[in-house]
Amino acid sequence: MGKMLEDYDHLLNIDFDRSYQIPFQQAEEYITAAGRETEKLDGIWNFAPDVYDTFIRKKFFEEVYQDEQGRDKPVDCNFDQWETVRVPSNWNLQKEKYWFFEGTGVYTRRFQFWKREEGERVFLRVGAANYECRVWLNGKLLARHQGGFTPFVVEITRHLKEDNRIILTVNNERKLEQVPSVNYDWFNYGGLSRSVELIRVPGTFIKDFRIWLVPASGFGRIGILAEIAGDASGKEVTVEIPELGVTKRFLVHADGKVRGIIEAAPELWSPEQPRLYSVIATCGNDRIEEQTGFREICTEGKQVLLNGKPIFLKGVCCHEESLENGRVLTDQERLGILMEAKNMGCNIMRLSHYPHSERMAALADKVGMMLWEEIPVYWALCFSQEEVYNNAQNQLKEMIIRDFNRPSAVIWGIGNENPDTDERLEFMKKLNDCSHSIDPSRLTAAACLVNIDKMQVIDRLCQHIDVVAINEYYGWYYRDYDGLKEILDNSVLGKPLVISETGADSVQGHYGDEEELFTENHQSKMYRKQFEISDGYIAGIFPWILYDFRSPVRLNPLQDSFNRKGLIGADKKYKKMAYEVVKGFYCRG
């Protein structure tokens, strides 16, 4: 009877998943991939939607196809006969039948591996998997990660064979305790949306390397932080910046870290002159090289300063999406987005409402576009739950560590339109402190709340963040414009205030009177009035949004499950009338 119950455990045990809920990967386990050669596992994978989580219930990962006598068993799974999809991709766009699927998708492929150097260590890096991902290699569960937009890394050295079976289970089901939670204004793409790759390193290697211009140093001091994994005793880290004539050696401390200062006077990075330098770090047999730039971003009173000079943030918001590829953009698409924003006169983009691909920041470095990057602490979360905070904090750390050396990243966004409760305030204060402790060289911001009764920006979070932002839609959700001026007149904050969202829906090619909703004429008027009223009050403005994008919460027939507030259509080609209004304001003399 006991054996029979064991055989049917997958059917009778409602808690079948508990033993597979290993601890989530943490940002502290991340190793830098920047400046390293990687071996991509992208391409053709076998795939199946797993609606009832049968993969775990029946332990398909064990791949038992024969009984004890060597006879073939009837099985419900043969990985190599599953249909195929491309990685990276979103399963929603691979087959029409997957369009609205939310649940577990199982990805698998075989790959061959040959060791190159004695003592080498090998890590698997998953660029992003929405939302919970588990990694199985040769039948062993090795890692579990949550958060659909940031990378994670797991060591696989001792589990590798010459011929390997890798399985990634990805679950994008929306749950109350997640970050973001169950309700948000964008499409819930599922799957492996960024590259899966192998990283080989020596036994002792540079796990983390950060370099920055020290704030308030007169632009003459460069900070260095490195962490060494493996036997670091007696080791040195050498940092070279050839174009500055810099070669400096730092002794690794007992904690495996290097902290140091380089005296140098680099040309400063800016949107007008995006100067980049090659930086090389070596430790023993390990070497990384990447392009970075040096700049200072800070605030003074109500102004934002870049390299010591006031700058008005001429921004625009943008989701990571295309009609053809969902959230899996090509570098050509990313460069097109950046150049479109520059053509409109922007000097900064708000990458809403989650971390976009690291390739976006690398390209922004080159073309000269500042970035506001943020985590999806969006609308209502379970702010009182410790595990929710830990999740949000880990996503914040992963984003900051990943893009620390990107000069284009100037603002870390810690939240958007959250209710001003005691639990939320404590939650956000801790995130703000966390950001500053990891990275004191950048600003923090969040979209705060406006008290409509008092017509004033009143949000206790304003006291803690560096840049106060508000989302307001006067001329759209509020049909008049008088309230905007009243709010700006009444809000005395003593720090920079920016409009992080404003906009109006318009259907491309649909015209009419300036007061007629969903017309290009109305959207254009809204922006003219916004610029007229806010001019002189704010440190920056971020129109919502550059492109129309998919959103299942938009059920008006004119919207057709799209947010139509784009200055450009979802095809990324059609420019609406409002595009020229924004460009005219940004490019004025």
Quickly list DSSP for 403-437.
HTT-TTEEEEEEEES----HHHHHHHHHHHHHHHH
Cβ-Cβ contacts under 8 Å for 94 (sequence gap 6 or more): 47, 85, 86
The 10s digit of each residue's pLDDT in 379-389 is 999 999 999 99
Which residue type is seen at 126? V
Question: Would you state the pLDDT for residue 1?
Answer: 45
Question: Would you state the pLDDT for residue 111?
Answer: 98
Regions in the chain scoring below 70 on pLDDT: 1-12, 589
Segments in 35-92 forming alpha helices (H): 54-57
Distance (Å, whole) CA 412 – CA 257 = 25
As beta bridge partners, residue 506 has: 518
Cβ-Cβ contacts under 8 Å for 242 (sequence gap 6 or more): 278, 280
| DSSP secondary structure, 458-517, as one string | --GGGGTSSEEEEE--BTTTBS-SHHHHHHHHH---SS-EEEEE----B-TT----TTST
Q: Judge contact between 201 and 123, C-beta under 8 A.
A: yes
Question: Would you state the pLDDT for residue 73?
Answer: 86
Question: Would you state the pLDDT for residue 10?
Answer: 62
- The answer regarding whether domain 17-201 maps to CATH 3.20.20.140 reads no
Distance (Å, whole) CA 369 – CA 365 = 7
Burial of 231 (0-12, 13-18, 19+ CB in 10 A): exposed
Distance (Å, whole) CA 225 – CA 206 = 11
**N-term to C-term CA, the chain:** 85
Question: Would you state the pLDDT for residue 8?
Answer: 60
Question: Would you state the pLDDT for residue 70?
Answer: 87
Question: Would you state the pLDDT for residue 34?
Answer: 86
Where are the domains positioned within the chain?
Answer: 17-201, 216-295, 309-586
Distances (CA, A) of 552 to 30, 317, 562, 563: 34, 19, 7, 9
Which residue type is seen at 573? K
Architecture of domain 216-295: Sandwich (2.60)
Rounded to 10 deg, the angle between the 520-534 and 482-490 helix axes is 30
Distance (Å, whole) CA 524 – CA 522 = 5
Structure tokens at 297: 């971003």
Question: Would you state the pLDDT for residue 589?
Answer: 65
CATH superfamily to which 309-586 belongs: Glycosidases (3.20.20.80)
Prediction pTM value: 0.96
- Of 522, 480, 505, whose CA–CA distance to 557 is shortest? 505
Structure tokens at 12: 């009778």
